[in-house]
Structure 1
Amino acid sequence: MIAKMKKLLLFMANTGTPVDVQLADLGRLGLLHIVPFQPPRDQSIELISSQLQEVAKALEVLERVSEEQAVAVTSVGTQAEHDAEQCLKQVLEADDKRTKLLQAKSNLEAELQWYEQWGNVAPSSFQELNAHGVYLRLYEASEKELKKLSDRDDVHVLGEANGLQQVALITEQAEETLPLNEVKAPEKDRSELENTLADTVAELENTERELTGLAAEKARLQNAQQSWLERLDLLHVAYGGESLEGQVNYWKGYIPEKQIDALTEAADQNGWGYVIEDTTDEDVDEVPTLIYTSRWGDRIRPVMNFMGLVPGYNELDVSHVFMLFFTFFTGILVGDAGYGLVFFLLTLFAHKKAGFKRKVEFQLMYTLSVSILFWGVLTGTYFGSETVANIPFLAKLRVDKLASFGGDNVFVQRFMFFVGAIHLTVGHLQQAIRYINSLKALAQLGWISITWGLYFIVNQMVLQIPAPDYMLWLFVGGALLVALFSSSGKSFFKGILSSVGNLPLSIINGFSDIISYVRLYAVGLSTVLMASSFNDMAIGDGLTTVLAGLGAVIILILGHGLNMALAAMAVLVHGVRLNMLEYAGHADVEFSGSEYNPFKINK
């Protein structure tokens, strides 16, 4: 259920109490979703935003440092905030220093590599030659490039490195070069580079030890990050309000109707003024959505959050229907009891690693795993193996018409179309209940009638199943209800004309929506066929050698692993789509809302 909201204007007088302190009291209440009058802008907002970027970078740096090597420090709970700022500065400076030292180390190693390839030649030797009018240049060349220079007496091959010829040009012309890749000699001799490298490595180790020690300060930085985030929220609120002649500051927001008493009580205690109003059609685009739902419906929240799906304030709460059909679709799309068992065990393992904490994500995965397992048992699908499916005990649990091996494909497709018609009918029923006190409810009943007429047409056109005689009356009765009661404008006849004009395209869309549910059959079948193909590829006519057995195990693990990954992607693509587009379209849900996010400060 989507919570009913009230619009609220909150007034705070400019008294001796700073506005930050008053807003902090409001934030600790954590009830008011504030909508700014204008985008908040101030230098303090930019400063804290910059600090938050820096602390995020610092925490990322410390994440790379092994926690086991972190030096234990005393509790940071009583440290002042300036300590966190100093710690942040130390981490960023140490990381910057480490980056520069790593680059210097890499450059020094590259220069020392030159001596490995070209020999222990002192850089001063080049300078002495130059002083006597002799110029030595070093190059790397391919065999093809070298052949073009074979007639020159001043070009000498010194050796080979990295698949290229090492070439020296000895000339008395200072500007003379070769059209090859020139290799510059280091400016320092070998011993000096080695000493510099040793110093650089030692300094790098010290810097890394410093970062290792600073890793123990991660909690302090995380606390500072939370504090700065709350401070940023407070500033956004402060500069998103308006002022009346500098005497009173006020803000606009929305609050759940059930929380009005708690806010008004706090307002009376703090001397705040307020005006509470009902939301209007003009406010609908900015009214946030707060959904109260059962534990069952709440399980779909991770999927909706991942997809960014928030119903509009005036739209339907579809969480229960979304969860029910998403669970069912997941079972069909994956459709293998073996895969369902694997997903269940993986979820159990991850849940155990998390200390069996009660999280909605685990509840969702357990539910989906059981759905996959259940549908796999009904269809007799166990890792795509027909042999396993024919084991007498498992065969008794199978529904023969739904069976993946030897089942009735026409029946399965018809069942998918039936599921689609039910899914779309639920959407229209929800709308009919929503408009129960309006004639629009009759229009939704008309759409239900048309939906089932379309179901029979789809069966006839796709599966060659004759439609019943009463199909025509489903369309006639449904079209009349839709034409007469869809529009609630002032002009009854204009409403009829508008509805009749939109009706043909809407019927075509409904037809394609029902056909769209055949994807459940197609994707589920492809999952079974891929699993069966990997089994044939791995086992074939039998396993005659140990090596063949090892290869079969590898193929089975990789093959079924890939198939499970593709099946999981299919769930996200097709399982979500049927709810998000087909069903939501018939339930008139556009997911145009914004989530209820009250201004909240924890401390």
Structure 2
Amino acid sequence: MIVPMFKYSYLVFHAEYTGFLEHLKELGVVHIVEHQEEPSLEMQELYRHISDLSKTIKGLKNRKKGVPQPTERLSAKSGEELSQRIDQIHEKLELLHQKQSALLKEEKLSEPWGEFSLDNLSRLEEATNLSFRFLVCPIRKFEQSWIEKYPIYNISDAAGYRYFVLIDDGTLYAQFLEEAAQIDEVGRPTTELADIRKKIQEVQNQIRELNKELDLIAFYGYELLNDYKLSLEDQLNNLNVKHQTIEEAEGKVRLVEGWVPADKAVYLEKWLDQQNIYYIKEEASREEKPPILLKNNSYARLFEPVGKLFSLPAYGELDLTPFFAPFFMMFFGFCLGDAGYGLLFIIIATLLKRKAEKSQKTLLSLVQWLGIATVLFGAITGTLFGIQLSNLSIPWLSRIREMFLNNDQMFTLSLILGGIQILFGMILKGINQIKQNGFAYSLATWGWFLLITSFGIFYMMDKQNPEASIMWNLPHQIITGIALLGIFVFNNPKRNVFINIGLGIWDAYNMITGVIGDLLSYIRLFALGLSSAILGLVFNQLAFELKPDIPVLGVIITLLILLIGHGINIFMSGLGSFVHPLRLTFVEFYKNAGFIGGGKEYKPFQKIR
């Protein structure tokens, strides 16, 4: 259900404003009304900082998984100091990686010339008045005759090129160029290869040290950084409240407006009266779009995250979470439909819940319920890890073999469940319309519900007793007439009869085609369940047919195929078993239930911990 809200308007003297906000935060029950959609520049900067910090924390969390635990300890005492240090490290690493890239490129260019002293080479050139030309050409174009004619010395061959030096007296190089136009002169290295490699080693050592520091932070700095992030979010929360505050009486009075759940209103009012703060209390209306706080039992609460994937309900309408929860669970089991897979879900979720965080336990509890539904439908169809129990020659199974539903019966069951959910959605739509606008606005919905259910009931009665001609007897004609009046005449009390009839015809076309299409969508429940069972059966056959006759190896290969095959089937079928019930809920069920949605989550102004 949606918790009722009250709107409070507080008038606070400017000198008491800061203290008032601190007390309001400690109470933690007021959702501040937002008058300004655009955040201030300071808030935008904080948003960016928090976003960057979140990425940093996520990166460090992933980094922690791949490295051994360091023996050193952190020197930083605060999250802010640590955050600044991380930024410095990332800047240094970026510069060092750029420097390393440039040095590696320089090493690649110098490597073919080998190790030599640039100083000795320069002194030799000065003493002899000769110059050394560093030349390169493709190996296939290098002619051995050049070595006989000119003072050429081969240095190395690399990547299809020959690197060589020609000793030039001032005329030889020009003469050589006339004969060997295909050669290229390259600039001599400016740094000796040994020095380049030494610099690369130094840079790599610096990178290694900085990465070690990041590893240290990843292991021991998470709490500090997370606390710092929470403090920034708390600061942002304060700024937002001040940004949404309206100044009155030339800034001497501050107007703060907020929403408070009805069950917490007494607690708030008691404090306001103690502080002698003037306030106005108003009941929430749909037009003001109050925030949405859901309150459901422990079972339905598990499915609230599923509903939030689409949208929260609008204020004033029904919360559909407790109504779609049993259907969603049932449809998941229908689609997966293997008792063995369901048992795995239950066992794994139960084991993980023991050490899971509080926020994760809700999800794992949901997995347990989905596993129970899968076991139930696996038992109905007689499917266990892809094995069709009805085909096994086990004596005790012969007594329950006839209880297993075959494919035709499962096909029919999918349509029956679909019809039930669609009709249930219509009931909820009618209740919603009564709740929001009054009974007169729900007559068309009840008319359609009455028409469909009466036709279904009288059709089945007619099938049971064909000679009685029950289908079009007087009671059914009266019921049909009442239903048609609601559909075509009284569908909207604000319009005249003729407009209602015209729009009723159009709505009838949409309704008939829509309901048929919606009903056919539920056939996919059967199709997904069938495909899951077939895939499990195929992997079982592959595992036992492809195993070699070697005893030990045969068992290992069989187990591998079974594990990999059923793992793939659980993943693919499990994904489909979640997505398709999601679609049936958000499209077929929500449409027939008249779901509006668009609600904004209740987020009270409170200290972020």
TM-score w.r.t. length of structure 2: 0.81
SS at match of 1:68: coil
Give the structure 2 partner of residue 35 of structure 1: 33
| Equivalent residues of 2:390, 2:404 under 8 A apart | no
The answer to whether the 8 Å contact 1:421/1:452 transfers is no
- Note the alpha carbon deviations across 1:354-409, whole angstroms, 9 max, x for none: 2799821121111001111111111111121236862444564556452xxxx2x3
Amino acid at match of 1:323: A
**Secondary structure of 2:492's aligned partner:** coil
Q: Deviations over 1:255-281 (max 9, x none)?
A: 222222222222233343222223334
After TM superposition, list the pairs within 5 Å mapping 1:356-505 onto structure 2.
Answer: 359-386=361-388, 390=392, 391-394=394-397, 396-397=399-400, 400=403, 402=405, 407=406, 409-434=407-432, 435=434, 438-452=439-453, 470=471, 478-489=483-494, 491-505=496-510
| Residue from 114, 120, 145 that aligns with 2:115 | 120
Offset of 1:308 from its aligned partner? 4.1
Cα displacement (A) at 1:150 = 7.5
1:159 offset after TM fit, Å? 6.8
Find the counterpart in structure 2 of residue 232 from structure 1.
236
Deviation of the 1:426 alpha carbon = 1.1
Task: Return the offset for 1:137.
Answer: 4.5
| Residue 175 (structure 1) shift | 11
Q: Structure 1 residues 487 and 217 mapped into 2: Cα distance closer, same or farther (>3 Å)? A: same
Residue in structure 2 matching 1:91, options 81, 86, 94: 86
Secondary structure of the structure 2 residue equivalent to 1:254: strand
SS at structure 2 position matched to 1:359: helix
Secondary structure of 1:310's counterpart equals coil
Map 1:273-352 onto structure 2 (within 5 A).
273-283=278-288, 286-305=289-308, 307-352=309-354
Q: Deviations over 1:295-349 (max 9, x none)?
A: 11101123234x2431111222111122100110011100011111222222123
Aligned partner of 2:573 among 545, 567, 572: 567
Cα gap change, 1:399/1:169 in structure 2, threshold over 3 Å: closer, same or farther?
farther
Q: Which residue of 2 aligns with 1:221?
A: 225
CA separation in 2, counterparts of 1:178 and 1:273? Answer: 96
Higher alpha-carbon deviation: 521-530 or 338-347: 338-347
Deviation digits for residues 470-512 of structure 1, max 9, x if unmatched?
3996876544332233323253543343233322112110110
Matched, 1:595 2:590: no
> Would the aligned equivalents of 1:424 and 1:451 in 2 still touch at CA under 8 Å?
no
Deviation at 1:93, TM superposition (A): 1.1
Indicate the residue corresponding to 2:556 in structure 1.
Answer: 550
Change (3 A) 1:470 1:5: farther
DSSP 3-state at the match of 2:384:
coil
Read off the aligned partner of 2:364 and give its amino acid letter.
Answer: F
> Once superposed, what is the RMSD of the aligned Cα atoms?
4.0
Deviation at residue 42 of structure 1 after TM alignment = 3.3
The Cα of 1:29 is off from its aligned counterpart by: 1.5
Mapped to 1, the partners of 2:115 and 2:458 lie a distance apart of 87
Matching residue within 579, 587, 593 for 2:585: 579
> In the superposition, relative to structure 1, how do residues 509 and 61 fare at CA in structure 2: closer, same or farther (>3 Å)?
closer
- Kindly report which structure 2 residues correspond to 1:168-183, keeping only aligned pairs within 5 A, or say none: 168=163, 172=173
Task: Specify the SS of the correspondent of 1:69.
Answer: coil
Q: After superposition, give the CA deviation of every residue in 1:505-550 in whole Å (9 maximum; x if it has no partner).
A: 1211011001111010011111111111222222227652354443
Q: 1:463 matched to which residue of 2? A: none
CA shift for structure 1 position 602: 4.6
Q: What's the % identity of the aligned pairs?
A: 23
Spell out, residue by residue over 1:133-164, the C-alpha distance to the aligned partner (whole angstroms, 9 max, x if none). 6643447x7xxxx77x5799889998765xx4
For 2:253 and 2:587, locate their aligned partners in 1 and report how far apart those are by CA, in whole Å. 47
One-letter amino acid matched to 2:375: L
Structure 1 residues 183 and 369: alpha-carbon distance in aligned structure 2, compared to 1, 3 A threshold = farther
Q: Which amino acid aligns with 1:484?
A: V
Q: Deviations over 1:412-467 (max 9, x none)?
A: 222111111110111122233342761344433322234447979999xxxxxxxx
SS at match of 2:427: helix
String of CA shifts for 1:547-601, please: whole Å, max 9, x gaps.
4443333222221111111112112321111111101111111332111112222
Matched, 1:536 2:541: yes
Secondary structure of the equivalent of 1:439? helix
Preserved CA contact (<8 Å) 2:345 2:371: yes
Aligned pair in 2 of structure 1 residues 308, 386: CA closer, same or farther (>3 Å)? closer
1:357–1:253 CA distance, 2 compared to 1 (3 A): closer
**1:100 partner letter:** L
User: Match for residue 266 of structure 1?
Assistant: 271
Q: Which residue number corresponds to residue 465 of structure 1?
A: none
Q: CA, structure 1 residues 412+219, in 2 after alignment: closer, same or farther (shift >3 Å)?
A: closer
Aligned to 2:170: none
1:193 aligns with 2:196: yes
Q: TM-score, normalised by structure 1?
A: 0.82
Distance (Å, rounded) in 2 between the aligned partners of 1:355 and 1:278: 38
Residue 123 to residue 451, structure 1, CA distance change in 2 (3 Å): farther
Q: 1:543/1:243 Cα in 2 relative to 1: closer, same or farther (>3 Å)? A: same
Aligned partners of 2:54 and 2:540: how far apart in 1? 48
Aligned to 2:518, which of 510, 513, 519? 513
Spell out the pairing of 1:147-186 with structure 2 (5 A cutoff): 164-168=159-163, 172=173
Partner of 1:464: none
CA–CA distance in 1 between the matches of 2:12 and 2:350? 52
Question: Residues 259, 153 of structure 1: CA spacing in aligned structure 2 closer, same or farther, 3 A cutoff?
Answer: farther
What is the rounded CA distance, in whole Å, between the counterparts of 1:452 and 1:126 in structure 2? 102
Query: Residue 5 of structure 2 aligns with which residue?
Result: 5
The answer to whether the 8 Å contact 1:484/1:496 transfers is yes
Closer, same or farther in 2 for the Cα pair 1:170/1:491, shift >3 Å? farther
> Is the 8 Å Cα contact of residues 380 and 395 (structure 1) preserved in structure 2?
no
Please give the alpha-carbon distance, in whole angstroms, between the structure 2 residues aligned to 1:485 and 1:154.
106
Q: Distance in 1 between matches of 2:557 and 2:605?
A: 59
Output the amino acid matched with 2:336. V
Aligned residues: 571
Q: Deviations over 1:13-41 (max 9, x none)?
A: 212x3x33322221222222222212354
d(CA) in 2 for partners of 1:493 and 1:382?
59
Distance 1:109 1:150, change over 3 A: closer
SS at match of 2:296: coil
Distance 2:451 2:184 in 1: 76
Q: What SS is found at the alignment partner of 2:244? A: coil
Give the deviation of 1:233 after TM superposition: 0.9
**Distance in 1 separating the partners of 2:181 and 2:603:** 68
Long gaps (5+) in structure 1: 460-467
Distance 1:379 1:53, change over 3 A: closer
Question: Greater CA radius of gyration, 1 or 2?
Answer: 2
CA drift at 1:237: 1.3
CA contact (8 A) 2:43 2:240 kept: yes
Cα distance change, pair 386–55 in 1 and its aligned pair in 2 (3 A): closer
- Is the contact made by 1:483 and 1:500 (CA closer than 8 Å) also made in structure 2? yes
